[in-house]
Amino acid sequence: MISESSSFVKGMVLGGLFCVFVTLIGHNKMGHGSKAHHHEHHHIQAPNIEDVSNLSEAERMELSHSIRVYCIILVKPKDLGNWAAVKETWSKHCDKAEFYSSESVKVFDSVVLNTNDMWVMVRNAYKLAYERYKDEYNWFFLAHPTTFAVIENLKYFLLKKDPSQPFYIGHTVKSGELEYVDGDGGIVLSIESLKRLSKIFEDPDKCPEQGGLLWKLSEDKQLAVCLKYTGVLAENAEDSEGKDVFNTKSVGSLIKEAMANHPQQVVEGCCSDMAITFNGLAPNHMHVMMYGVYRLRAYGHNFKDALVFLPPADSDND
Amino acid sequence: MALGGFKGSWLAFHVGIMTGFISTFYLLNGLLWPRPRGAESQTPHPDVWVVQHPALLSAGHPHLSGGQDRGVSMTAAELYSKVRILCWVMTGPSNLETKARHVQATWTRHCNVVLFMSSVWDDGFPTVGLGTKEGRDQLYWKTIRAFQYIHQHHLEQADWFLKADDDTFVVLDNLRWLLANHTPEEPVYFGKRFKPYAKQGYMSGGAGYVLSKEALRRFVEGFRTKVCTHTTSVEDLALGQCMEKMGVQAGDSRDAAGRETFHPFGPESHLTGKFSKSFWYWKYCYYPIVEGPQCCSDLAVSFHYVSPELMYTLEFLTYHLRAYGYRFRYQPPLPENAARLLQRQARPKAANATLLVQGTKRL
């Protein structure tokens, strides 16, 4: 009897220890995985409010005007509905916005690229943008017609960043060794990055004109590869709480996810207050976003912002 | 018997391993993983609400603490204490978890007091039980009973009394702004004004409407003296007719630029929809309909037919997401009564009052 009960106890202790061991390994594996992922992810943050709150009105205006954003929106004829919506909404807030289309379209003006290949479109758009505007703008934002962007929040994000440094910013994704910006969330390049990109365009080995015949990379990845050769690395943009500011999904989708994942903190946990982009929007939703971002607000909440942006002329939906 | 004994302790050993493993597993489970919130735990969050069954009192205006919106919320805070609003939400037992719960988690947090009105009492949610049945034909009964209940138990807790549906989204801070130019002693009520069937019109039920304290008094008095009765189950029209009989004025809720603030449909419909010319809406609106961006005031008060997902989305768009540094086009001047209201608060420095007015001056 005694030998049985002592065996039982020994068994229990062993079983318990084994359980703890297995649990720890399980947790470590997850922890290690995400830790490793975390370390190799490049993060870049929005400026802190304290850095910029002691400026005069004139200084604020000057600062606001010094950040000049040129917007490239890549379109195809099938995107006509979204093209119109982007034209009528957020693109009005870029310092200059141009639509680069695969082919010419009667209804709208655009820079015609004469190709349907996405990578060739991206490449040529950047090339043209650099050639024509390198002395006029210091930041270059590339987007798709399903994206909604808040350019003022982009400018705030770029406030303390020197455009003569090589920046390549957005919502990043890791694919093996390559970290690239997901085009769905919008891509931001500083003038320095665009300069280096233009140079490497001349090297067809490092940065091919058409993606390889057999092995084609997506245009987002191809861009990252070309930039990497010039020493420019992708950085994931976050606010002061670590939330992504470039989003590859719409507010509605993110809210739906939040309702499922953390129902007690849906709005607080969903998205950044300083979000720059959302993606996957139908034309009607762009108009709702325009109202929601630039007009709808709760009376009596005032902000001491470091920058000042005035509403654009000839517009009534913002 | 050596063999038997050996077998016994071998068995005991293995049973021990299993027992040890399983019991440790459950022990760790309890310690490491938080128990998921079951459907039973319904009580409102203590950081957000002070529960005075069945009423929920806001534990503090959610955006006054500064915190994440790092804004100076001076005027909103003052309006919150000067223009007190009791919100009551028309709901029912089958909608509590599917709709009312999301209303509770979003815009009602900005009310001074909120009551969820149902046909039956629910201590957990909590809801008031009005003692009616459920259904469209009960809407006016529920409304009458709700206002009577509020008049009896909560009259002193607020200056204005808002009714909304469980698919209405309301921006309380904008409602306070609208009401700041009036006093609770005025016999007046506001909402989305419709014109048929009543001389001065009536307010759409779905878009929400708000009664002054005097209007509430007269409504209850009307039923006491039988001047008002349950004429029809069409709640908004019936209430409007009672208001007219009791001398309560149907107010103009449009903003300083003449744009509507209470909306009977969702934002997408109003901003992008083209209502067909035969649609009833054209004949109902008291004021001219504007389609497109000018349909709606920047300081919108309500939207209707709002799904749970849209509730959170609108809360996010109203209170969180904004364009940094943007100078809004619409800068309404501070109305006379509001200025008086805000300066009426005991302030040692006159400079502070001027600061408020400056903040809202046209730029």
Contact indicator for B128, B146 with CB cutoff of 8 Å: yes
pLDDT category of residue A192 using cuts at 50, 70 and 90:
very high
Angle subtended at Cα B213 by Cα B208 and Cα B218, rounded to the nearest 5 degrees? 95
Distance between B126 CA and the closest CA of chain A, angstroms? 17
Residue B39 has pLDDT above 50, yes or no: no
Length of chain A: 318
Rg value, chain A, Cα: 24
pLDDT at A29: 55
Best A246, A296, A308 member to test B by mutation, with max B CBs in 10 Å, is: A296
| CB neighbour list of residue A232: distance below 8 Å, 6 or more residues apart | A166, A167, A168, A193, A196, A197
CB neighbours (10 Å) of residue A119?
21
Q: Please give the DSSP secondary-structure letter assigned to residue A273.
A: T
Average pLDDT taken over every residue of chain A: 91
pLDDT digit string (tens) for B108-123? Answer: 999 999 999 999 999 9
As a whole number, mean pLDDT of residues B13-28 equals 84
pLDDT, position A68: 97
Nearest to B122 by CA among B92, B90, B152: B92
Cβ-Cβ contacts under 8 Å, A283 against chain B = 272
| CB proximity A242 to B under 8 Å | no
Q: Check residue B348 and give its pLDDT.
A: 35
Residues 6+ positions from A290 with CB-CB distance below 8 Å: A89, A90, A317, A318, B293
pLDDT tens digits, one per residue of A7-41: 888 888 888 888 888 877 766 655 444 444 444 66
Where does the pLDDT of residue B73 fall: very low under 50, low under 70, confident under 90, or very high at 90 and above? low
Q: What is the pLDDT of residue B339?
A: 76
Distance CA B21, CA A17 (A): 8
Tell me how far apart the alpha carbons of residues B132 and B139 are, in angstroms, rounded to a whole number: 9
Report whether pLDDT(A263) > 80: yes
Q: Which of A19-23, A91-95, A111-115, B132-136 has the lowest mean pLDDT?
A: A19-23
- Give B314's contacts in chain A (Cβ within 8 Å): 292, 296
Strand (E) or helix (H) holding A174: strand A172-175
Tell me the DSSP string of A8-41: HHHHHHHHHHHHHHHHHHHHHHHHHHHHHHHHHS
Separation of alpha carbons B214 and B198, rounded Å: 21
Contact B323 A153 (CB under 8 A): yes
SS3 for chain B, per residue?
Answer: CHHHHHHHHHHHHHHHHHHHHHHHHHHHHHHHCCCCCCCCCCCCCCCCEEEECCEEEECCCCCCCCHHHCCECHHHHHHHHHCCEEEEEECCHHHHHHHHHHHHHCHHHHCCEEEEEECCCECCCCEEECCCCCCHHHHHHHHHHHHHHHHHHCHHHCCEEEEEECCCEECHHHHHHHHCCCCCCCCEEEECEECCCCCCCEECCCCCEEEEHHHHHHHHHHHHCCCCCCCCCCHHHHHHHHHHHCCCEECCCCCCCCCECECCCCHHHHHHCCCCCCCCHHHHECCCCCCCHHHECCCCCEECCCCHHHHHHHHHHHHCCCCCCECCCCCCCCCHHHHHHHHHCCCCCHHHHHHHHHHCCCC
Least confident span in A61-65, A123-127, B64-68: B64-68
Q: Which residue of A has its CA nearest to B320?
A: A273
| Mean pLDDT, rounded, of chain B | 85
Q: Distance of alpha carbon A212 from its chain centroid, rounded?
A: 27
Per-residue model confidence (pLDDT) at position A33: 42
Contact criterion met (CB below 8 Å) for A290 and A262: no
Contacts of A295 (CB under 8 A, 6+ apart): A317, A318, B298, B328, B329, B330
Give residue B31's pLDDT band: very low, low, confident or very high (50, 70, 90): low
CA A24 to chain centre: 36
Nearest to B114 by CA among B104, B123, B129: B104
% residues pLDDT > 70 (chain B): 84
Say yes or no to pLDDT of B17 above 50: yes
User: What does the alpha-carbon distance between residue A187 and residue A171 come to, in Å, rounded to a whole number?
Assistant: 8
Q: Is the pLDDT assigned to residue B70 strictly greater than 50? A: no
% of residues, chain A, pLDDT over 90? 74
Q: What is the Cα–Cα distance from A83 to A98, expressed in whole angstroms?
A: 11
Cα–Cα dist B20/B271, whole Å: 64
CA distance A189 to A223: 11
Q: Are residues B12 and A292, on separate chains, in Cβ contact within 8 Å? A: no
Q: Write down the pLDDT at residue A298.
A: 96
pLDDT-derived band at A229, boundaries 50, 70, 90: very high
The stretch A191-195 carries a mean pLDDT of 98
Instruction: Compute how many other C-beta atoms are within 10 angstroms of the C-beta atom of residue A129.
Output: 23
Classify the C-alpha dihedral A167-A171-A175-A176 as positive or negative.
Answer: positive
The better pLDDT of the pair A154, B2 is held by A154
Strand, helix or coil for residue A112: strand
pLDDT, one tens digit per residue, over B335-362 is 777 777 777 543 333 333 332 222 333 2
Looking at per-residue confidence, does B58 or B151 come out higher? B151
pLDDT beyond 80 at B137: yes
Residue with more model confidence, B74 or B285: B285
Phi, psi of A270 (to 5 degrees): -70, -65
Peptide bond into B267 cis (omega under 30): no
pLDDT at A302 over 90: no
Contact yes or no for B184/B204 (Cβ under 8 A): no
Average pLDDT of A206-214? 74
Q: What is the pLDDT of residue A22?
A: 81
- A138: pLDDT strictly greater than 80: yes
The model's pLDDT over A45-62, given as tens digits with 9 standing for 90+, comes to 887 766 666 778 888 888
Which one has a higher pLDDT value, A211 or B184?
B184
Q: CB–CB of B323 and A284 under 8 A? A: no
Which carries the bigger pLDDT value, residue B40 or residue A77?
A77
pTM: 0.83
Residue A166 has pLDDT above 80, yes or no: yes
Tell me the shortest Cα–Cα distance from A218 to chain B, in angstroms.
32
Average pLDDT of the residues in A64-90: 97
Q: For A292, which DSSP code?
A: H
Query: Mean pLDDT over residues B291-298, rounded?
Result: 95
Instruction: Look at residue B69 in the predicted model and tell me its pLDDT.
Output: 43
Q: How confident is the model at residue B43 (pLDDT cuts 50, 70, 90)?
A: low
Interchain CB contact of A256 with B (< 8 Å): yes
Half-sphere exposure of B22 (CA within 13 A, CB side): 6
Do the Cβ atoms of A70 and A140 come closer than 8 Å?
A: yes
Specify the pairing of strand A168-170 against strand A235-238.
parallel
- The token duo for A259 is 């309702």
Would you state the structure tokens that stand for residue A138, as one six-digit string?
């210091």
Tokens of A86: 């982007």
Cβ distance B176 to A300 less than 8 Å, yes or no, reads yes
